[in-house]
Structure 1
Amino acid sequence: MTENLDRMTSDPLDATPNPTKAARCCRKLIRAYLENPEYVEWEDVQQALYDALDAFGLAPDYIEMERRT
């Protein structure tokens, strides 16, 4: 029931993400920093972002769409 309430909030980032997908995102981001904390590859950060969006059930272009509004 809580998940249904989360989905009704106006900010989709307030919803509870899929825990498996959220953990995948976190692992990618942590590994990117472990490999070279002085110079993190932008592609690694983008991949983690796409996984985070997926964890929240958001489209890959969510960021671009929000920036337009």
Structure 2
Amino acid sequence: MEQIKCIIVGGPQHGLVLRRPWDRRRPAPLYVIADDGEPCVAAVRRHDKSMGTRYLLLHPRATGEQILTMLAA
């Protein structure tokens, strides 16, 4: 099992970075429940050399601006 980095986009925890356990042999949908009770689901996997792989978890009320900002970061 490995640890993956996830960033919440939108909602009350916008920008929060989480580390989640991940088992590649037993994949399950990647999501977290935000503080307001809404599910944040994996939408994008990003990779850059300095930060490694990160998954963006979208809150249902994430705005286009929030999404684009996190994609560009």
Does the alignment reach a TM-score above 0.5? Answer: no
TM-score by length of 2: 0.23
TM-score by length of 1: 0.24
Structure in which a larger fraction of residues adopt helix: 1
Structure in which a larger fraction of residues adopt strand: 2
